[in-house]
Amino acid sequence: MALEGDIVAASKVLTLGLATGLGAIGPGIGVGYIFGKTIESVARQPELRGDLLSITFLGLALTEAITFYALLMGFVAFFIG
Amino acid sequence: MRRIRMWLFIAFGLGLAIPAFGSAEPTFDPAGEFATTAWVPIQLGPIDLSINKAVFYMLLSSLIICVFCLVVVRGGMKMRPTKAQNILEMTYEFAEQQIAGVTLPERVIKKWFPYLATLFLFVAVNNLISFVPLPTAPHSDTFRVVGDLGLYAATANINVTFALALMTFVAFLWEGFGTHGFIGYFKTLVPAGVSKGLMPFIFALELMSQFLRLISLSVRLFANMLAGHLLIIMAAGFSILVGSFIGALGIPFALFFYVFEWVLVAGLQAFIFALLSGIYIGYAAQSEH
């Protein structure tokens, strides 16, 4: 059974969807881990809350960036590929 | 006061809605929003210095920062600060303590704090004004009077973020070569006490990671801004393209992305950019213990 229709357009759309979905798995786990650890640490030592929060936001931005690397490649494939 | 606020709200709403009747774009082209066509072409030989949409937004943000700071400072700084002075002082303290103070060693804070604070302010204001609709969109003019309203972030352009990251790259290499010497800097890349066989691999890996800092710094900001704006455009476009009842479901999504991006991501990404620049410069400026 041969594939018919516009394969290029279909694969572009598929790439965008796959990139967005797969690229969100790892960072999703990562961000949850970061904030879970932060909650744990603040529960142990509430007076360190301010310092820990700044490190948390730093970690959040670094981890979140990984989803955008994947999303970016999806956009490149969809709009330019 | 409440009546004035209500009328202002209505005027703002109409001001955003009326252009929708004036111009109709037949195709939905989200990528077209990010195209930068030259408004004022300026060519210096091979270098293209034309004023396009991104340049306009960068000039606008620089103007906003300069005018705000000058008006607050030259207007006379009081012991009982006004709201504007408060904002300025909070921003300055934030940049001084949370960005430069945390990342740079003592002896270089004076040297690199202006750079980090400028970087933070520039990226932050560029990110923040990108969510205000301005008449710069590349579609037809509304009633042939003013350009179409559109959202655009100068930092959603890889050229802008790459230029900023390149400045940080040069800065931390400058600091590294200044502190350790040219050959000495490459010696610091490989930690002491590594077996001879492993050294070339570790050296190559570390060298590549130095260049990867440049790429990751620029791509992080670029992708965050571009993806944020594209998500808003896609969600809003979905509501309009599908229309009727199902389309109405897209509006809360678009609203959520808009608020999330504007309140959280814009400022956070600017802070992260400046913080990472500070970390790289501070790390390169650390003398050996």
Q: Give the residue numbers spanning the domain of A42.
A: 24-80
pLDDT digits 0-9 by tens, B260-289: 999 989 999 999 999 999 999 999 998 765
Better pLDDT: B34 or A81: B34
Nearest Cα neighbor of B271 from B66, B128, B107, B163 is B128
Q: What is the mean pLDDT of chain A?
A: 90
Average pLDDT over residues B25-29: 72
Average pLDDT over residues A39-60: 91
Per-residue confidence (pLDDT) for residue B174, from 0 to 100 = 93
Residues in chain A closer than 8 A to B268 (CB atoms): 57, 60-61
> Are B269 and A60 within 8 A, CB to CB?
no
Does any CB of chain A come closer than 8 Å to the CB of residue B219?
Answer: yes
Asked whether residue A47 is domain-assigned, the answer is yes
- Tell me the nearest-neighbour CA distance from B272 into chain A, angstroms: 6
Asked whether residue B48 is domain-assigned, the answer is yes
Nearest Cα neighbor of B176 from B273, B282, B275 is B282
Backbone angles phi, psi at B136, to 5 degrees: -125, 5
Asked whether residue A49 is domain-assigned, the answer is yes
Which residue type sits at B225? M
Share of chain B above pLDDT 70, in %: 94
A64 pLDDT higher than 60: yes
pLDDT band at residue B38 under the 50/70/90 scheme: confident
Sign of CA dihedral B19, B251, B269, B212: negative
Q: Rounded to an integer, what distance in angstroms lies between the CA atom of residue B28 and that of residue B44?
A: 35
Q: Rounded to an integer, what distance in angstroms lies between the CA atom of residue B202 and that of residue B212?
A: 15
Asked whether residue B41 is domain-assigned, the answer is yes
Asked whether residue B222 is domain-assigned, the answer is yes
Q: Give the residue numbers spanning the domain of B142.
A: 36-285
Q: DSSP state, A3?
A: -
Asked whether residue B98 is domain-assigned, the answer is yes
Q: Rounded to an integer, what distance in angstroms lies between the CA atom of residue B185 and that of residue B88?
A: 38
Per-residue confidence (pLDDT) for residue A54, from 0 to 100 = 84
pLDDT digits 0-9 by tens, B128-187: 999 988 888 776 666 666 777 788 999 999 999 999 999 999 999 999 999 988 888 888
Residues in chain A closer than 8 A to B162 (CB atoms): none
Tally the domains of chain A.
Answer: 1
Chain B CA closest to residue A57:
B268
Domain harbouring A60, CATH code: 1.20.20.10
Average pLDDT over residues B229-246: 84
Asked whether residue A66 is domain-assigned, the answer is yes
Asked whether residue A69 is domain-assigned, the answer is yes
Asked whether residue B53 is domain-assigned, the answer is yes
Average pLDDT over residues B185-198: 84
pLDDT digits 0-9 by tens, A9-35: 999 999 999 999 999 999 999 999 999
Residues in chain A closer than 8 A to B222 (CB atoms): 72
Nearest Cα neighbor of B32 from B230, B261, B239, B223 is B230
Interface test with B, best of A71, A73, A76, A80 (most B CBs within 10 A): A71
Tally the domains of chain B.
Answer: 1
Better pLDDT: B249 or A32: A32
The token duo for B165 is 């990251």
Check residue B28 and give left, alpha or beta (phi > 0: left; psi -120 to 50: alpha): beta
Asked whether residue B16 is domain-assigned, the answer is no
Asked whether residue A42 is domain-assigned, the answer is yes
